[in-house]
A = this chain, B = another copy of it.
Amino acid sequence: MEESFAVKDFIEKKTPRRAVIIGGGYIGLEMADALVQLGLEVTLLEFASEVLTTLDPDFGRLIHAELAARGVTVKTGAEVQEIALNQTDLCVRTASGLTVTADMVLVAAGARPTTELARTAGICLGAGNAVQVERTMATNVADIWAAGDGVQTWHRILKRYVYMPLGTTAHKQGRVAGENMLGGMREFQGSLGTQVVKVFGLVAARTGLREKEAAAAGFDPFTISLTTWDHKVYYPGAEELHLMITGDHNSGRLLGAQIVGRYKTEVSKRIDILAAALFHGMRVEDLSDLDLAYTPPLSSPWDPVQMVAMQWCVAVKNRRA
């Protein structure tokens, strides 16, 4: 919060014209959106080959195009080596020799847990060097519970602890810790890594595992994508939705999904249908059995999340044949 207020204060007092943002993840993208709306020229530098690495690069590209359409200069594969002060200008230099001059630089290149207090108290660290907790949110030290961005998180599909700080998870963990501190017996039911971000006029959401993550975890993942309409195209205002679904080829189990679409096309609560399915370990094929809401201005008799699931089943059958 302090850093956010400091940024706002700096912009109001110093009226910078050019900003460089290092990092094309959630924070970097949201800041690009905000700074463009405040009238700044924004350059976004991303180390990876595409922005928003929490999504598949094919979907990251859609966000990249939206940034470009709104006037953000995006440089991918940009490894920042130096931020130098040249008179009143900040010069950001990358390994490939690119130099960008700016009046302000924001670094949004990931999060690390602050654990000094915990370590001082004899609390062990776990995944990602975050505070080690059980699913009860108990630490190894009696009478000390921990929750939030500084602790490891039980992953419901991977069935192991990961470091994945998210606001929704922090709230759930805090509630479990609080109840158990008062004598409760609750366990955190695990994260699916469900996330969503709005970038200008687009919304990008995901839940579960991406193909690469699923393969690394020992699954036999198979992924397909589908572009379709958010609602019946004969009703005005239909917009394209881009959906991607990953399932286990052997068991047919749903492993993860991604959706990118325009703001106000129910992208984020559509990913939640898939999150609810993942929570229950559903198979991709069985998504067609869900009784989902339909009216022409808002969906189709098979919701797009069911259409992509059906396409997945057809593709798996063809692959086996």
Cα distance A144–B166 in the bound complex, in angstroms: 53
When A273-B273, A298-B196 are in contact, do A175 and B293 touch as well, CB less than 8 Å?
A: no
Determine if B293 and A271 form an interchain contact, defined as CB atoms under 8 angstroms apart.
Answer: yes
Which parts of A141-198 form the interface with B (CB within 8 Å)? 156, 166-172, 175, 189-198
Cα distance A280–B203 in the bound complex, in angstroms: 28
Q: Is A301 an interface residue (CB 8 A)?
A: yes
Determine if B290 and A272 form an interchain contact, defined as CB atoms under 8 angstroms apart.
Answer: yes
Q: How distant is A270 from chain B, measured CB to nearest CB, in Å?
A: 5
Determine if B272 and A168 form an interchain contact, defined as CB atoms under 8 angstroms apart.
Answer: no
1/0 per residue, CB under 8 A from B, across A291-302: the answer is 111110111011
Q: Is A263 an interface residue (CB 8 A)?
A: yes
Q: How distant is A169 from chain B, measured CB to nearest CB, in Å?
A: 7
Could you say which interface size class chain A belongs to? 35 or more
When A272-B273, A276-B276 are in contact, do A169 and B291 touch as well, CB less than 8 Å?
A: yes
Which parts of A267-292 form the interface with B (CB within 8 Å)? 268-273, 275-277, 279-280, 286, 288-292
Determine if A189 and B289 form an interchain contact, defined as CB atoms under 8 angstroms apart.
Answer: yes
Which parts of A19-64 form the interface with B (CB within 8 Å)? none
Cα distance A295–B168 in the bound complex, in angstroms: 9
Q: Is A132 an interface residue (CB 8 A)?
A: no
Which parts of A178-231 form the interface with B (CB within 8 Å)? 189-198, 203, 205, 207
Number of copies: 2
Cα distance A192–B292 in the bound complex, in angstroms: 9
Q: Is A248 an interface residue (CB 8 A)?
A: no
Q: A191: which of B205, B286, B291 is its contact (CB, 8 Å)?
A: B291
Cα distance A171–B301 in the bound complex, in angstroms: 7
Which of A205, A263, A280, A289 is packed against the most chain B CB atoms within 10 Å?
A289
Determine if A291 and B168 form an interchain contact, defined as CB atoms under 8 angstroms apart.
Answer: yes
Residues in B neighbouring A66, C-beta threshold 8 A:
none
In the assembled complex, 27 residue pairs joining A and B whose CB atoms fall closer than 8 Å, in A order, are: A156-B291, A166-B294, A167-B301, A168-B293, A168-B301, A170-B301, A172-B289, A190-B291, A191-B291, A196-B295, A196-B298, A203-B298, A205-B293, A268-B295, A268-B298, A269-B269, A269-B272, A269-B273, A269-B298, A272-B272, A272-B290, A273-B273, A275-B292, A275-B293, A276-B276, A276-B292, A279-B289
Nearest first, the 3 closest Cβ-Cβ pairs linking A and B are: A269-B269, A276-B276, A189-B289
User: What is the interface of chain A, defined by CB distance below 8 A to chain B?
Assistant: 156, 166-172, 175, 189-198, 203, 205, 207, 263-264, 266, 268-273, 275-277, 279-280, 286, 288-295, 297-299, 301-303
